[in-house]
Amino acid sequence: MVEFPRLFPRRLRPGDTVAVVAPSGPVDPARLERGKEVLKGLGLDVIVGSRVLGRERFLAGPDSARVVDLQAAWCDPAVSAVICARGGYGATRLLEPLDWDAMRAAGPKILLGSSDITALHRAFARELGVATLFGPMPACSLLGAPEGPEPETLSRLRAALFEGGSAGPIRGDRVLVPGRAEGPVGGGNLSLLAALCGTPYGFRADGHIVLLEDVGEQPYRIDRMLTQLLQAGSLDGAAGFALGSWVGCGDPDDVLAVLTDRLAPLGVPIVAGLPVGHGSPQFSLWMEADGVIDTQSCSMTGLFRDPEGAP
């Protein structure tokens, strides 16, 4: 496998403290409370950032407040994981004002989130060199639903978060290009990867297995964003592609045709239909951890390395 300098946080143990913050869009209080109870049901002590329920237009409060909550949680030695309440929009606005020196000095811990949190996954990889967890969030429908969390989503989250957990392969439903690929997992939400092009946090495939997923984007927009990434060289050197869910993106056959047209010419293994992203269930996947695509079983496996000598 391609080797990259990566730090792996200690995974959680029952009784650990986790902090919920809102770096992106406004949070629904009822969903947040239900999601908090789900996390407590996993045996965790849950604290909520003081600014989580803020609101300013389409954001969960002003940038300064969201930065303070995120940075304070990351730098608090009592906190073992920072969990983003939801996505939406706004994480990209925090990348410059964050004090990366202070966060680097705090050492690695778990960051959990998906969708708009792709911006933080990319920035944490670049600035901190730390593996992060792409997965469900407490104020979203799969964890914070009135009827309770979606069972497989919760099971996979538990296996990813806690020491000793091993979720096994994530199976897709379509092979676009056959083969086997190994490499660190990168990428995330397609819209965010396109938005980060030309910034210091832009994605470069360079030996990665590239996860791509999105929600509410029509096929022509998916084509446009993939074309942007291709023309920017962002996908050069990709080891393979793991394609997740494309909820509300129009005719699934049209989406698949676009993905095949733009990605298959790269000649690397591609598995589609993985339950990662915005669909249900939503499996958790460690970013910057080693991954394997095996098209014979139409699956992807993530291989998290628990740090040696973790306290």
Threshold 0.85, pTM exceeds: yes
Q: How far is CA 7 from CA 14, 53, 59, 300, in A?
A: 22, 31, 30, 22
Please tell me the predicted confidence (pLDDT) of residue 145.
85
Please write the tens of the pLDDT for every residue from 100-117.
999 999 999 999 999 999
Q: Answer whether residue 200 shows pLDDT above 60.
A: yes
Q: Answer whether residue 282 shows pLDDT above 90.
A: yes
Please tell me the predicted confidence (pLDDT) of residue 6.
80
pLDDT category, 307, cuts 50, 70, 90? confident
Which residues touch 101 (CB under 8 Å, ≥6 apart)?
none
Q: Give the CA angle between residues 261, 263, 267 to the nearest 5°.
A: 110
Please write the tens of the pLDDT for every residue from 48-67.
998 899 899 999 999 999 99
State how beta strands 174-177 and 270-272 pair.
Answer: antiparallel
Active site residues: 115, 213, 278
Q: In the chain, what are the domains?
A: 17-161 (3.40.50.10740), 170-303 (3.50.30.60)
Please write the tens of the pLDDT for every residue from 172-197.
999 999 999 999 999 999 999 999 99
Please tell me the predicted confidence (pLDDT) of residue 1.
36
Q: Answer whether residue 293 shows pLDDT above 80.
A: yes
Q: Answer whether residue 225 shows pLDDT above 80.
A: yes
Three-class DSSP category at 155: helix
Please write the tens of the pLDDT for every residue from 64-106.
999 999 999 999 999 999 999 999 999 999 999 999 999 999 9
Please tell me the predicted confidence (pLDDT) of residue 3.
42
Please tell me the predicted confidence (pLDDT) of residue 305.
74
CA–CA separation, 94 vs 82, rounded Å?
15
Please write the tens of the pLDDT for every residue from 135-157.
999 998 888 889 889 999 999 99
